[in-house]
Amino acid sequence: VSALMQVHTCYGLVFILFIASMMLAALNIIAGIFVNDAIEMAKQDREVIMYLEAKKNQAVEKELKDLFLASDTDKSGTLTVEEFIQAFDVPEMQARFRNLGVEINDTKSLFEMLDIAVTDALDIEEFVGMCKQAKTLTRPLDIQSFIQQTRRAEQGVKRGMTNINDQLDKLAGKMDIILNKSQSEKKQQPQGGAQPSRLQVPGRPRTVPHHHSMGSLGTALLERTSSLNFFKSSR
């Protein structure tokens, strides 16, 4: 550098900039190598973690299937509540479930929690799936029981609303027919001439004409039907 500075100052400055840029390039290359190695190692770690997690899930599923087959004493492919309770009277079964992370305080409540379809019988897929869900919760039995009761209540409300809508639709259809018949009979009555007077019996209340009562009833029902249709559309 001193020799270049003696020749000309610009040559010395250019050489210094050249050395500095080469050093920065070398440092960037070295840093890139380390970063690339770190990324590859992290990717391998993720793959290893995913592989180990998959193997763990497979082991849990295999253990749950073994528990199901051991509890299914009649070999029917389904697990009833009696078989479930009888199987959990064995301490080994309770220990195996606790080892999988499924807490057991009330066997019947656990069975009702697992039985989402409310069929009083569990197949192997339903048993394995619900046990895996219960395993991931802090207090699985309590939380899953609450979820199960909520789902059953929701299904009951939906069935009740469907039945009410069906009955209202049927009633509205029948009243439309009656109202149309009443209006057609009213149109067929003669327009001119005096209506024959009816003999009023003392002490007997005066009867209201049939078409007036049917008209008011039909009007009320039509209003009810329009309100129901508005309710359905708003849903």
Q: DSSP class of residue 136?
A: T
Where on the phi/psi map is residue 101: left (φ > 0), alpha (ψ -120 to 50), or beta?
Answer: left
User: Against a cut of 0.95, is the pTM above it?
Assistant: no
Domain ranges for the chain: 55-138, 150-180
Q: Quick: pLDDT tens for 58-68.
A: 888 888 888 88
Nearest to 87 by CA among 69, 103, 109, 105: 69
Distance CA 79, CA 122 (A): 5
Give the chain's residues under pLDDT 50.
Answer: 138, 140, 192-215, 217-218, 231, 234
Q: What is the pLDDT of residue 186?
A: 75
Contact predicate 100/128, CB 8 Å: no
Multiple choice CATH, 55-138, 1.10.238.10, 3.90.1150.10, 3.30.1360.70, 2.40.128.20? 1.10.238.10
Distance CA 25, CA 32 (A): 10
230 CB-contact burial (10 Å; exposed 0-12 / middle 13-18 / buried 19+) = exposed
**125 half-sphere exposure, CB direction, 13 A CA radius:** 1
Residue 61 CB: number of other CB atoms within 10 A?
A: 14
Q: Quick: pLDDT tens for 71-115.
A: 888 888 888 878 878 877 788 887 887 787 766 665 666 676 666
Q: What is the pLDDT of residue 171?
A: 87
Q: What is the pLDDT of residue 91?
A: 82
Q: What is the pLDDT of residue 195?
A: 47
Indicate the length of the chain as a whole number.
235
Distance CA 94, CA 107 (A): 10
Q: What is the pLDDT of residue 203?
A: 47
Q: What is the pLDDT of residue 21?
A: 92
Q: What is the pLDDT of residue 43?
A: 78
Q: What is the pLDDT of residue 73?
A: 82
Q: Collapsing DSSP states into helix, strand and coil, what is residue 117?
A: coil
Q: What is the pLDDT of residue 24?
A: 92
H/E element holding 193? none
